[in-house]
Structure 1
């Protein structure tokens, strides 16, 4: 490779993009390319390391007493900590033929002392690393916007009518086709454009005859853009010519649609505003279903732009609740609309379910609702089927409004809550946990608030109750070995060399924070907000609360990233992560996150004396 290629390779690896031009040149001038066979030892444990290695091609294993604790592959490096401490705790051996750059230790250490960004990266706290990684991903992926094509945005359907069409017929066409703009073709084949604002400003204000030719209020001088052109070019054309719309053509110069400023703004704002408007304006189930189809696109766009998973989940949760509320308003019997509260529970209630997994919902009905139980259950079965059609699978545990257990009147829910608390059992603890996470979907949340107040009122003040409620975290092991290697379940052949990130990390945080929040009678549903409230109450100190928040975000981010990749390849989304698919940085941060989970687990063990339950 040339020095230019070497420089590009190194600065393409985080955090070495922070090297100055001079430092990058020094790296490039001092690195050597080494070719290694399978099974060669690059660095031996308990010895002083000599080089920092960047892998060009191949695979390197990090070993502790013959146990593989990490794997490094293309565009990853190792082992900066050994170089800083001048002592190698582990051995590094090639797992296949490998090509590496090797940089002498003295060059790395000298640069580390001069470059503050590099130094701070290798010496920052776990929470700082986690936060820095999110910021890095945001900057790195922001370039994706620059290569977005016109066809990636919301291109309106093109409807073309004759130039001689009457104004009245043109308006009827706009209403029928549900488009904001019409294209007109004159006798010479030229294309003209007329918009909804033209009808307002030219027809109504000038009191034109509705039988007049619509061509009289149209505009010519249309500008075109190819559907494969960059979106930024479309924006430049609009700005340059002072236009609000462009006609989109394909490679055969056939008109395929119209793109406007709102479509551009919606794309760069991830469609959120426009989709929200679509939900508001939806009058039929089909229109609502079409709006919900955009959710995955929004998630992918937000994730590609590096937006924190906490904000993605919050946004999607709001859109989901808005969609479910609108569906309820469109389909529910009138008597039920003002006498019931539809709630989502579990991860959806906490605002942490991003991709559609399954339904976790319930219906709390006012005691004075006159609708019969039979009619209510008939409707809730229909509602469940609507959601299935929208892409929300049925809950395997049958935690849905169609199940009479989760569809009952307020007084019956109070009896249920009383039973959950006074007759502790595994199922009752699970149901209590699910309900405690509930969040209202419908506008009036009074019924849900009343039940949560009742829950806190009769909730036991005895530590024994909370000990048993929190105990379930002891059934889950954090998949991190004593020497920081990932631990895999050898009995699970389907997910060999994979980690269940939910059981091993996410659930332990959720249930631990849920237990502490229930004990402290916190109304908040989301794990992040509960962490903040526990911090305010001094249950969690500032540093640990920050670490927990960052670790939780990172675990959710890794899970989302993995599932989006599975979604693109047609695989089933799940909770399993293959560490081999992660970068060195992600692997390190995953280990750091698991360390924080272990720390939380030990805190709960001591707080509730779980070893004695």
Structure 2
């Protein structure tokens, strides 16, 4: 095999793709190809290792006595830790005929210490590997920002009025259409522009007559850009000519809008601040609906920039919460405002929902609210329908304010919580888990706080409550096999050779942390924040706490990446991930994440003696 072929092989394996040209050539020139028969020992326990092995074909097992600890296959390597420590803790033996590249230990250590990135990688803990994973893939995704088009940004609507329109009518038009600029057209079809600052600086300061012609304060010499041109081109043109705005045309040479410096800057800054302001200023549901369309763009932009998943979820959750609060304020009868608490639950309550999934919400009504039940439920049904229009699908389990079960008075909710705690069915514990994750999105948050305090009090009176609450995790299996390979449930033909990353990882982690948090009476709802609180209480040690945080974030980022790819391909959002769509490093980190989840599951099984429940 040629040196170039060896280099191409190495470039597919992280972290060896981080080698510079000289290091890559030295690495390749020292590679030998070795053939091993089935059940042949490659590296023996308690011996000094000689080589780093990179598998071209076959399967290798890492064993301690007869126990298989790990399994390595094509494009994977072993065992750098043995080489660094010059001692093999385990035996590496082939499970079938295997062909490997072998790199002498001396060369591996030499290049390892010459390359900082590679050295950092091999001396990291699992949590550090997970935390530092984003750079490798995000550099490729950054290219998406470089090819963003003008039409992808917030292009203001183009309003064109006659050149001789009065200043008063022009100002009125700007206010009505909520645009910062106005275009004027004269008898010769020449286009002029007037901005909101022109009214302040030219009209007011010069004490012009409001009935005067607005054309007198306009500017000419406009520069145009096509909506399909790159945003960076727009930025370059603005910088070159010292302009604050460009007029946007389509392929038919028609004016379709105006892009200004603020819109341009906010796009590259994900324009979350401007979207938040738009929600605050919105006076109608229609204005809110237009604003909410920006959320997906924000998510894609942040993800492409390599922003950590925890920050994306926090940011999007804040926007969603603000949006729902505004919808509630615009729709709710005045008798309900201040006398109720609109709560969001599930992943939205935990601030872990990124893309809009189904609704999980409820309404707690103060016992002294003057509205009758019929009036309340009429509003609740309308509220649910409006959320559907805003892109929040109905909950398949009917966990929505439109369901009277989740829309009731404060005292009724207390009775419901008591029945959940004392109940023994799966529905009781599911409802309790959903409610425990709730946060107040609008209204009187003390209503929710009081109900959670009541939950803590009632739960403490039942010895078996936390055991039964935790037991649900035993119904879910981590999709890692005995030999560290992924386990697929191919009964679902639609998702053959795919992993349900939520059932097999995220849910087990979330439910385990939720149970420990409930037992310790934590008001926190976010899983990461709960982990930190449990760490402070010494329920989870420092290293395991870090591992759990990074495993959760990695699983969530893989799920988001898959969902965004599905959206771009016109497919439905789901919880399935095909490991073959991941690179070698991502597969490795996915396995590490599942191992951490499995470790937590075993901790819960021991802590709550789940084998006896």
The TM-score, its normalising length taken from structure 1, stands at 0.89
Taking structure 1 as reference, are residues 174 and 579 closer, same or farther at Cα in structure 2, changes over 3 Å only? same
Taking structure 1 as reference, are residues 362 and 11 closer, same or farther at Cα in structure 2, changes over 3 Å only? same
Taking structure 1 as reference, are residues 592 and 51 closer, same or farther at Cα in structure 2, changes over 3 Å only? closer
The answer to whether the 8 Å contact 1:69/1:486 transfers is no
Report whether the alignment pairs 1:365 with 2:365: yes
Give the drift of 1:203. 1.2
Q: Distance in 1 between matches of 2:326 and 2:289?
A: 11
Give the drift of 1:417. 1.1
Q: Distance in 2 between matches of 1:70 and 1:331?
A: 58
1:173 matched residue in structure 2 = 173
- 1:311-460, aligned counterparts within 5 Å? 311-460=311-460
1:555 matched residue in structure 2 = 555
Report whether the alignment pairs 1:591 with 2:591: yes
- 1:431-580, aligned counterparts within 5 Å? 431-460=431-460, 462-580=462-580
Give the drift of 1:271. 2.3
Q: Distance in 2 between matches of 1:153 and 1:93?
A: 55
Give the drift of 1:368. 0.6
The 10-residue stretch of structure 1 (172-181 or 352-361) with the greater mean CA deviation from structure 2: 172-181
Q: Distance in 2 between matches of 1:229 and 1:288?
A: 28
- 1:28-39, aligned counterparts within 5 Å? none
Q: Deviations over 1:360-400 (max 9, x none)?
A: 00000011101010110111011111111111111111111
Report whether the alignment pairs 1:79 with 2:74: no
Taking structure 1 as reference, are residues 120 and 342 closer, same or farther at Cα in structure 2, changes over 3 Å only? same
The 10-residue stretch of structure 1 (236-245 or 557-566) with the greater mean CA deviation from structure 2: 236-245
1:216 matched residue in structure 2 = 216
Taking structure 1 as reference, are residues 207 and 503 closer, same or farther at Cα in structure 2, changes over 3 Å only? same
The answer to whether the 8 Å contact 2:55/2:73 transfers is no
Q: Distance in 2 between matches of 1:52 and 1:63?
A: 10
Q: Distance in 1 between matches of 2:363 and 2:59?
A: 53
- 1:98-109, aligned counterparts within 5 Å? 104-105=103-104, 107-109=107-109
Give the drift of 1:416. 1.0
Report whether the alignment pairs 1:47 with 2:42: yes
- 1:139-288, aligned counterparts within 5 Å? 139-250=139-250, 253-288=253-288
Give the drift of 1:53. 5.6
Q: Distance in 1 between matches of 2:81 and 2:348?
A: 45
> Gapped runs of 5+ residues in structure 2?
44-49, 63-67
Give the drift of 1:303. 1.1
Superposition RMSD in Å: 3.1
The 10-residue stretch of structure 1 (136-145 or 304-313) with the greater mean CA deviation from structure 2: 136-145
Give the drift of 1:402. 0.6
Taking structure 1 as reference, are residues 580 and 62 closer, same or farther at Cα in structure 2, changes over 3 Å only? farther
Q: Deviations over 1:316-356 (max 9, x none)?
A: 11111111111111111111122111000111111111111
> Gapped runs of 5+ residues in structure 1?
35-39, 95-99
Q: Distance in 2 between matches of 1:274 and 1:210?
A: 31
Q: Deviations over 1:85-132 (max 9, x none)?
A: 5975445879xxxxx996855654542243232122134211011001
Q: Distance in 1 between matches of 2:390 and 2:72?
A: 41
Q: Deviations over 1:498-528 (max 9, x none)?
A: 1111111111111110110001000001111
Taking structure 1 as reference, are residues 169 and 505 closer, same or farther at Cα in structure 2, changes over 3 Å only? same
Taking structure 1 as reference, are residues 460 and 245 closer, same or farther at Cα in structure 2, changes over 3 Å only? same
The TM-score, its normalising length taken from structure 2, stands at 0.89
Q: Distance in 2 between matches of 1:92 and 1:283?
A: 69
Give the drift of 1:28. 6.3
1:127 matched residue in structure 2 = 127
The alignment partner of 1:356 has SS state of coil
Q: Distance in 2 between matches of 1:612 and 1:460?
A: 20
What is the count of residue pairs matched by the alignment? 593
Q: Distance in 2 between matches of 1:230 and 1:31?
A: 45
The 10-residue stretch of structure 1 (241-250 or 23-32) with the greater mean CA deviation from structure 2: 23-32
Q: Deviations over 1:223-243 (max 9, x none)?
A: 333333332332233234332
Q: Distance in 2 between matches of 1:18 and 1:576?
A: 30
